[in-house]
Amino acid sequence: MCWCTSHFEFGLQVKVMARIAFLQGERKGQENLKQDLVRRIKMLEFALKQERAKFHKLKYGTELNQAEVKVPVFDEEDKEKSFDAESLTNSTNSNASWKQGRQLLRQYLQEIGYTDTIIDVRSARVRQLLGLQNQTDDDNRPLVNGEQTGKRPSETQGRRTGNKKLTSVVQSALAESEESVMSTFDFLSGEQVVDEDEENLSDGENEENGTADDDDEDRLEKRRTKKILGNESMADQGIDEVLTADPETEEALAEFDFLVSESGEGAGEARSQGDGTDWEKKDLSPSEDWGVDQQLISRLTEQYRKERQKGKKAIQQRPKRSTLQDMLVNLGNQDDSSVQANSVSSPRAGNNMTSLDDSGEYDQEELGDYGRNRVLGVAGPEDDALEAALGLGELADLTVNNDVDPLNYDINSPKEAFRKTWTAKYTLRSHFDGVRALAFHPVEPVLLTASEDHTLKLWNLQKTVPAKKTSASVDVEPVYTFRAHRGPVLCLAMSPTGECCYSGGADATIRCWNIPNSNIDPYDSFDPSVLQDTLDAHTNAVWGLSIHSSRMQLLSCSADGTIRLWSPGTKSPLLNTFRVEEEEGLPTSVDFVRCEPNQLVVSYSSANTYIFDIETAKQIIMLESKQENEYFLSPLESGVAGQINRVISHPTLPITITAHEDRHIRFYDNNTGKVVHSMVAHLEAVTSLAVDPNGLYLLSGSHDCSIRLWNLDSKTCVQEITSHRKKFDESIHDVAFHPSKPYIASAGADALAKVFV
């Protein structure tokens, strides 16, 4: 009995021990997996660094400081791979490292398998070593793309000798106690491989590099021709690679679902990321020399990418990928941005926004379309865009998340209509001094400008001056000049019907004009009835005007400290007058609150903004921004540092947006009076704001000579355009969206107005 018990106990003990051993093995396996993941991340990083170095070399003919680039596993393979990978140099590079990762993974999984029979450490180790060796060879096979076979043998030989060395090291290690070997083995073998490759690299580096350069040159050429001729085959090949790779993975790693899907994702991710870099590279390389149609290429690349996406989706429908995918996305983004920062000559280095130089044209095309289509909601292109987004499947999410990431823009750029961006089209030259304000006709391609030269001018964008053949923009001459103000004209408002407009001037008057037909002969006879009325209750410069969208009501603010509400065209047009305490300084800008028909919002030079009830003339709320003025320009200027230059009401939401002298744009909640968002928007004072009719995009103008288009949702800049020159310290006075047509405009101190399409 006793014996029985002890025997039973012993049996139990054995079982428990076996169980413990099993669990330990499993744990080790998990640890290895973790290590592997880390390693893979490192490898991806390395691949990127290497790519950067290579690019640097190609571009400048000098080596990047290689000391920085730490070489992880299977570096040579990377290199070689990049040579034979048709057009997708970078992507295959990442792909190669993925495969290495997969191989390592498989290796570790085998380890897990062996833990069941962990008692025989020796045999396990031998098999492990064999496995390592076999796999190295096995794994090379799918990578072979024909051309490289010539190079293979020497390559593989090098590796074999490396492995032999490894084997001897391991064997010597076997002399030690099994326990200690067990604990150190994994670490050791990993290290060995790395060391080995490092050595190999340093040996071969010099000779390799010489040929590498040449190869790369050739490759560049081949790549381009290949692209034009055989895009289809290229695409197929790409897909095949993914397709063949995946079942294999599936087989080997069946039980680690999440890992498989992750690695599959990883491949896709790496590839698309690679494509991005490739694009970048194309952008920078002297592509003109090859006479290649870049747009065609991009379109085909895009097509290919989509096909691949579909192919991948067809075979891969596994859950749980989201977490790791996110991780990889983050990683990718980080790398992207660092590439961005590192490529000094990149036209958009360190900046998501584009400038409108002729040289940057290609660049803009890539970026700008994005914002454009969203702003305008143009029916045709929008639908296309939607389709494109849907076609992208999961990647569509990615794009939205990384809106500002320039590399992601090309994902959405295949459609011609979609590629359109804001570019300067019309230059309105005829004013003799700074243009202070501009306003579009509600329907027609017609606009009005008000200038410090005491005039207003009416422009018909369909009446252009025959332009110089070299310039991309066309000049417009005005069809009518409004003369009545006896000083600079400072502000402007167009009636919702487009029949009348109102202008306020430094002469304290508000003039009401009947707008002549936009097809009028510019040299027609003078018609005094164009000047319909003059509102002259103000006693100092009129700085702001706003017209109600449905009622015939006009708001004005003046340096006399008052806000006035008018009903132009009636017998006693002045309806009401609003004021605040003198300590708020002078009103600078005024607007109707668009979503509350009985409210107005007015900003002061004190940096505060008030909302009034129009009926009762009582203040409803103060939108305060005084306390956060951290930017003082100088003791002399401190009084105006936080001054608000423009206030506008969001067309649909209870939000007020202000443009400040301290370079900020601030967003307020009309109900709480609190700042909901504050951002340094320009390099100098922000002077003007305009929201597109759909309320999705914001346009700002600044004395830093640029206008910027902002996504109101993400508060990110979608496009920057350098537009005007400086006169004294002023540059841009006003910006505007056309209420119904795809036009934006800017008014400059350089006496010009510009219209962008």
Partner 1 sequence: MANVILRRNRPGIKTEDWSNWPDESFEEMDSTLAVQQYIQQAIRHDFSSIEEILTPPEGQDEGVWKYEHLRQFCLELNDLAVKLQSECNPETCTQMTATEQWIFLCAAHKTPKECPAIDYTRHTLDGAACLLNSNKYFPSRVSIKESSVAKLGSVCRRVYRIFSHAYFHHRVLFDEYEAETALCKRFTTFVTKYNLMSKDNLIVPILEDMPEPGESEA
Looking at 94, 107, 589, 625, which residue binds partner 1 (CB under 8 A)?
Answer: 589
β pairing state of 474-483 and 424-429: parallel
What DSSP assignment string belongs to 424-440? Answer: EEEEEE--SS-EEEEEE
Over the window 663 to 692, marking each residue x when it contacts partner 1 by CB under 8 A and - when it does not, the resulting string is ----------------------x-x-----
Q: How near is the Cβ of 661 to partner 1 at its closest, in Å?
A: 7
For residues 73 and 197, is the Cβ–Cβ distance under 8 A? yes
Looking at 477, 624, 628, 669, which residue binds partner 1 (CB under 8 A)?
Answer: 477
Q: How near is the Cβ of 685 to partner 1 at its closest, in Å?
A: 7
Residue 464 sits in the site that holds partner 1 (CB under 8 A): no
Q: How near is the Cβ of 684 to partner 1 at its closest, in Å?
A: 9
Residue whose CB is less far from partner 1, 289 or 729: 729
CA nearest neighbour of 648 among 660, 636, 639: 660
β pairing state of 435-440 and 424-429: unpaired
Segment contacting partner 1 by CB under 8 A, of 65-73, 314-322, 403-411, 643-651: 643-651
CA nearest neighbour of 332 among 714, 86, 40: 40
For residues 561 and 572, is the Cβ–Cβ distance under 8 A? no
- Within 10 Å of residue 719's Cβ, how many Cβ atoms? 30
Over the window 152 to 191, marking each residue x when it contacts partner 1 by CB under 8 A and - when it does not, the resulting string is ----------------------------------------
Laid out side by side, the sheet with 510-514 consists of 489-494, 500-505, 510-514, 531-535
For residues 143 and 81, is the Cβ–Cβ distance under 8 A? yes
Q: How near is the Cβ of 390 to partner 1 at its closest, in Å?
A: 45
Helix axes 2-60, 89-114, angle to 10 degrees: 170
Laid out side by side, the sheet with 599-604 consists of 587-592, 599-604, 609-613, 619-623
Over the window 505 to 534, marking each residue x when it contacts partner 1 by CB under 8 A and - when it does not, the resulting string is -xxx-------------xx-xx-x------
Looking at 90, 738, 750, 756, which residue binds partner 1 (CB under 8 A)?
Answer: 750
CA nearest neighbour of 132 among 85, 196, 179: 196
Structure tokens at 694: 């759909």
Residue 544 sits in the site that holds partner 1 (CB under 8 A): yes
**CA gyration radius, the chain:** 34
Looking at 478, 573, 642, 701, which residue binds partner 1 (CB under 8 A)?
Answer: 478
Residue 754 sits in the site that holds partner 1 (CB under 8 A): no
Looking at 441, 646, 666, 682, which residue binds partner 1 (CB under 8 A)?
Answer: 646
Residue whose CB is less far from partner 1, 323 or 471: 471
C-alpha dihedral over 558, 560, 563, 569, to 10 degrees? -70
Q: How near is the Cβ of 640 to partner 1 at its closest, in Å?
A: 6
Looking at 316, 726, 741, 742, which residue binds partner 1 (CB under 8 A)?
Answer: 726
Residue 354 sits in the site that holds partner 1 (CB under 8 A): no
Looking at 587, 594, 666, 667, which residue binds partner 1 (CB under 8 A)?
Answer: 587
Residue 471 sits in the site that holds partner 1 (CB under 8 A): yes
Looking at 15, 320, 483, 626, which residue binds partner 1 (CB under 8 A)?
Answer: 483
Residue 475 sits in the site that holds partner 1 (CB under 8 A): yes
Residue whose CB is less far from partner 1, 100 or 702: 702
For residues 348 and 341, is the Cβ–Cβ distance under 8 A? no
- Whole-angstrom Cα distance, residue 96 to residue 79? 9
Question: Tokens 């097509």 belong to which residue?
Answer: 303
Residue 626 sits in the site that holds partner 1 (CB under 8 A): no
Q: How near is the Cβ of 329 to partner 1 at its closest, in Å?
A: 41
- Whole-angstrom Cα distance, residue 39 to residue 127? 23
Q: How near is the Cβ of 360 to partner 1 at its closest, in Å?
A: 21
Residues 33-62 that bind partner 1 (CB under 8 A): none
DSSP assigned state of 527: -
In Å, what is the CA distance from 292 to each residue of 221, 272, 280, 420?
Answer: 11, 22, 15, 20
Residue whose CB is less far from partner 1, 10 or 432: 432
Residue 585 sits in the site that holds partner 1 (CB under 8 A): yes
Q: How near is the Cβ of 701 to partner 1 at its closest, in Å?
A: 13
Residue 257 sits in the site that holds partner 1 (CB under 8 A): no
Residue 358 sits in the site that holds partner 1 (CB under 8 A): no
Q: How near is the Cβ of 585 to partner 1 at its closest, in Å?
A: 7
Segment contacting partner 1 by CB under 8 A, of 40-48, 130-138, 442-450, 467-475: 467-475
Coarse DSSP helix, strand, coil percentages of the chain, rounded to the nearest 5 percent: 50, 20, 30
Looking at 75, 78, 84, 453, which residue binds partner 1 (CB under 8 A)?
Answer: 453
Segment contacting partner 1 by CB under 8 A, of 34-42, 365-373, 429-437, 612-620: 429-437
- Within 10 Å of residue 314's Cβ, how many Cβ atoms? 9
Q: How near is the Cβ of 587 to partner 1 at its closest, in Å?
A: 6
Looking at 44, 324, 424, 559, which residue binds partner 1 (CB under 8 A)?
Answer: 559
Is residue 545 packed enough to be buried (19+ CB in 10 Å), middle (13-18) or exposed (0-12)?
buried
CA nearest neighbour of 262 among 44, 560, 497, 460: 44
Q: Residue 169 half-sphere exposure, CB side, CA atoms within 13 Å?
A: 19
Q: How near is the Cβ of 486 to partner 1 at its closest, in Å?
A: 6
- Whole-angstrom Cα distance, residue 724 to residue 734? 11
Residue whose CB is less far from partner 1, 143 or 753: 753
Question: Tokens 């290590």 belong to which residue?
Answer: 35
SS3 141: helix
CA nearest neighbour of 684 among 735, 737, 631: 631
Residues pairing with 576 in the sheet? 565
* Phi, psi angle pair for 469, to nearest 5°: -65, -25
Could you tell me how many residues of this chain bind partner 1 (CB under 8 A)?
66
Residue whose CB is less far from partner 1, 411 or 755: 755
Q: How near is the Cβ of 67 to partner 1 at its closest, in Å?
A: 40
Q: How near is the Cβ of 371 to partner 1 at its closest, in Å?
A: 27
Residue 503 sits in the site that holds partner 1 (CB under 8 A): no
**Interface residues with partner 1 (CB under 8 A)?**
427, 429-433, 453-455, 465, 467-468, 471, 475, 477-478, 481, 483-488, 490, 506-508, 522-523, 525-526, 528, 540-541, 543-544, 559, 585-589, 604-605, 633-637, 640, 643, 645-646, 661, 685, 687, 703, 725-730, 749-751
